[in-house]
Amino acid sequence: MKATFSDVVITGMGSVSAGGVGTAQLRETVEQGRCMLTPVPDEILGEKGHLWGKATGFRAADFIPPLKARKLDRCSLFATVATGMALKDAGLDMAAIAPERVGIALGCGFGGIANSEELLRGYFTKGAEGLVPMLFPNTVPNAAASNASIEYGLKGPNVTQVQRFCSAESAFLMACRFLEEERADVMLTGGADDLNAIMMQGFKSMGQLASHAAGFGEGSGIVVLERREHALRRGAGIRGSVVEIRTIGSLLPGREAEGAAILKGDGKPDIVSLSGSAAELPILMEGMTDVPRLEMGPLVGRSLAMGGVAMTALLLSLDDGKRALHLAASPEGPFFAIDFFGGPSVRS
For residue 338, list its beta bridge partners.
245, 326
Reported as a single tens digit per residue, the pLDDT across 331-343 is: 877 889 999 999 9
Reported as a single tens digit per residue, the pLDDT across 300-320 is: 999 999 999 999 999 999 999
DSSP-derived letter for residue 235 is T
pLDDT of residue 2: 84
Reported as a single tens digit per residue, the pLDDT across 44-87 is: 998 888 999 999 999 999 999 998 888 899 999 999 999 999 99
What pTM was computed for the model? 0.93
Residue 271: enclosing H or E segment and its boundaries? strand 271-276
CB count within 10 Å of CB 27 equals 17
Contacts of 316 (CB under 8 A, 6+ apart): 13, 23, 26, 27, 30
Q: What is the mean pLDDT of residues 17-33?
A: 96
How far apart CA 55 and CA 216 sit, in angstroms, is: 11
209 against 144, higher pLDDT = 144
Assigned CATH topology for domain 240-342: Peroxisomal Thiolase; Chain A, domain 1 (3.40.47)
Reported as a single tens digit per residue, the pLDDT across 215-240 is: 899 999 999 999 999 999 999 999 99
pLDDT of residue 210: 80
Q: Domain 8-233 sits in which CATH superfamily? A: Thiolase/Chalcone synthase (3.40.47.10)
Per CATH, 8-233 and 240-342 having the same topology is answered yes
Kindly state the percentage of the chain with pLDDT values over 90: 64
Domain ranges of the chain: 8-233, 240-342
CA quadruple 133, 134, 135, 138: dihedral, nearest 10: 120
Q: Look over the chain and give the mean of its residue pLDDT values, rounded to a whole number.
A: 90
* List of long-range contacts for 289-298, beta carbons under 8 Å, 24+ apart: 291/325, 294/30, 296/19, 296/30, 297/215, 297/217, 298/35, 298/37, 298/215
- Flag whether pLDDT at 196 surpasses 60: yes
- Flag whether pLDDT at 256 surpasses 80: no
| CA-closest candidate to residue 107, choices 10, 13, 174, 8 | 174
pLDDT of residue 266: 66
Do 284 and 329 contact (CB within 8 A), yes or no?
yes
Alpha helix positions (H), the chain: 23-32, 42-45, 66-69, 74-89, 113-126, 143-152, 167-180, 197-205, 228-233, 282-285, 297-300, 307-317
